[in-house]
Amino acid sequence: MFNRRRCLRRVAAIASISTLVSGCGLLSSGPSGDDEPIIVGSTSFPSTLDPAASWDNSWELFRNIYQTLLSYPNGASAPQPDAAEQCGFADNANRVYRCELRKGLKFSNGDTLDAEAVKHSIDRIRKIDVNGGPAGLLGSLDRVQAAGDREVIFHLNKADATFPFVLATPAMSIVDPAVYPADALREDGEVVGSGPYTLQTYKEGKKAELVRNDHYKGYADRRNGAVTIRYFKDSTGMVAALHNKEIQVTYRGLAADDIITLQSSAVQERNYRLVESAGTEISYLVFNPKDPWAGRKPVRQAVAQVIDRAAIAHNVYRGTVDPLYSMVPKGLAGHTTGFFDDYGDPNVPAARKILTDAGITEPVPLTLWYTTDRYGSVTRVEFEEIKRQLDASGLFTITLKSRPWKEYVEGYQKGEYPVFGRGWFPDFPDAENFIAPFVGDQNALGTPYPAPEITGVLLPESRRETDRANVVKEFRRAQEILVDDARLLPLWQGKQYVAVSPDISGAERAMDPSILMMMWQLYRKTSW
């Protein structure tokens, strides 16, 4: 079960942006109106083009080509109307949520977007019910009602003041019932949405060409005519493309060494700016409870006792990430340091005692899986460091295996991996978003994690409270449970880095609270 919180603090990734270097010369403050595409590089490409299948990095594209009832205008930390003209709870119990659509909405193909289209879009998520997909976001939804052409009413099965945040996620993108089946995913590689852009061309793993959607009605003020997203296998290729002026902006996937180099050369060469912001991205390990070794708590606890997060942060990521000792990152209400409090610094003798007390005296064989093309090329180096640490303890024999992201997702959803690495970019910056997605029978990992106290008591209690300062107790208790189980092992918390060529503006304002890039904020400077 997975839900959202109504009141949020201003997202740090937007508020605390710092620009290391400014381009030279004077420039105008408005867009140029040039329809030549701005080219954005990323190492993170979609796993699907159908919103009903996605609770992952596909959202990065969805935010720009599909539309949701609610979204985040620049600077907003709580959802505001997008396809909707207005939304709000219609009762005092927070169980009936009503939205009225804008007048004259159309999809990019000219079809009418009405209340029935919204109902169809939400209903199909639950009916198709993709493993590890966004159906887990709708645990509090009972039914959707289309009341006339423009009114949509959501009837909830329990009080849930967080429901507006669910509707603002790209998973709840509105699709055309004429071309998106009610009971199956769309498999033809085409897209019909109502967002700021249409997807003119898409080549999987290569590029996505976005052009203005002439039918769009929403809050986005598009400051460019077109954007092309180029997908790279690694940071090296993306940075080379930046230097060669083949791309103007980098988004996801800069490796630590490249960031350090860019920081230095940006100052010296002034060929680009490096925009740094605080982030809530986290990296963690997932243990499969059905594996004969990873399923044993003492084994997981021993791994937690050996892992040296500081070495990973400083030696692998060169200080571009911080060690993390909780699934809830620093900067959010409810963050703790539970794994440090319970385990302290890496300690091999303590880990050996955990294992021997459980009757385990031989080195534990574990296979660790990682993806080769989702989180940047440095992921391989990170897992080599984890293997080195665990092997060096003498308590484990580690085998590393990897797959490209699309195959990787299929593998962990089938339960094939004993231990595997995942990253998490938040749906919104709140402690709940770092706990609820990973627990319950249906979660973002595709690996059931029954946690009855969390799902049955702590989360429901927290969802009745709109003041986030008043739910710290519930989230701290939830983290105590996660630390004790050690089913999820946090490793580090990242920062956000975007490299921008000197002729492009808007990158400082282009991230929404989920750290998704709003491509319409980018524009070319018009004078120097």
Between the CA of residue 498 and those of 36, 56, 202, 251, 375, what are the distances in Å? 21, 20, 23, 6, 15
Helix locations, 358-404, DSSP H: 378-392
Q: How far apart, in whole angstroms, are the C-alpha atoms of residue 298 and residue 360?
A: 9
Between the CA of residue 256 and those of 232, 260, 261, 310, 372, what are the distances in Å? 16, 6, 9, 15, 16
Ordered DSSP codes for 456-513: IIIHHHHHT---GGG-HHHHHHHHHHHHHH-SEEEEEEEEEEEEE-TTEE-GGG-B-T
Q: What is the pLDDT of residue 127?
A: 97
Strands 151-156 and 207-212: unpaired
In 3D, which of 272, 299, 504 has the Cα closest to residue 397? Answer: 299
Q: What is the pLDDT of residue 1?
A: 35
Element (H, E) at 422: strand 419-424
Q: What is the pLDDT of residue 269?
A: 65
Look up the pTM and report it: 0.77
Q: Per-residue pLDDT for the chain (528 aa), expressed as one digit of tens each?
A: 333 333 333 333 333 323 333 333 333 344 444 579 999 999 988 999 999 998 888 999 999 999 999 998 877 778 899 999 999 999 888 899 999 999 999 999 999 999 999 999 999 999 999 987 899 889 899 999 999 999 999 999 998 888 998 999 999 999 999 999 999 999 999 999 999 999 999 999 999 999 999 999 999 999 999 999 999 988 999 999 999 999 999 998 888 888 988 887 655 566 788 988 778 889 999 999 999 999 999 999 999 999 999 999 999 999 999 999 999 999 888 899 999 999 999 999 999 999 999 999 999 999 999 999 888 778 999 999 999 999 999 999 999 999 998 899 999 989 999 999 999 988 776 788 899 989 988 788 888 899 999 999 999 888 877 677 788 999 999 999 999 999 999 999 988 899 999 999 999 899 887 889 999 999 998 743
Ordered DSSP codes for 348-368: HHHHHHHHHHTT--SPEEEEE
Q: What is the pLDDT of residue 377?
A: 76
